[in-house]
Amino acid sequence: MRDDRLRLLDIIEAIEQIEKYTDRGRTVFDENELIRVWTLHHLEIVGEACRGLSDAFRASHEDEIWSDAVGFRNVLVHQYFGIDLEAVWEVVVRDLPGLKRKALEIMEKQEQGS
């Protein structure tokens, strides 16, 4: 079973995988199916990792960002024929940087406390 630390690492790694290709910009994202599928896959990983965070973790790190990521993952998985690419891009540019920053901050504090 993966603990919260490993799930935070999963979140950070998946976001970095998304950044690797979406940093090329919206036009490349729109024109390249492989980049879109890559991005969607890693967004699902982010959501799964957030879903797996323990209740204790969520209680000590209250933020809607965890449940937002899970909710978006559910939309991606269950509405795969009707995915709104504009919404996906907005998540990539608006939400992922904050989620990554939050996960890194928590990891850093945990390492300092150890």
Report whether pLDDT(43) > 90.
Answer: yes
Residue 12 and residue 32: Cα distance in Å, rounded? Answer: 23
Is 73 annotated as catalytic? yes
Query: Is the distance from CB of 12 to CB of 42 less than 8 angstroms?
Result: no
User: Which position among 36, 41, 73, 94 bears the catalytic label?
Assistant: 73
User: Which position among 24, 78, 94, 101 bears the catalytic label?
Assistant: 78
pTM for this prediction: 0.93
What is the chain's mean pLDDT, rounded? 95
Which band of pLDDT confidence, cut at 50, 70 and 90, is reported for residue 114? low
Q: Where are the domains of the chain?
A: 4-109
Report whether pLDDT(65) > 70.
Answer: yes
Report whether pLDDT(13) > 70.
Answer: yes
Is 78 annotated as catalytic? yes
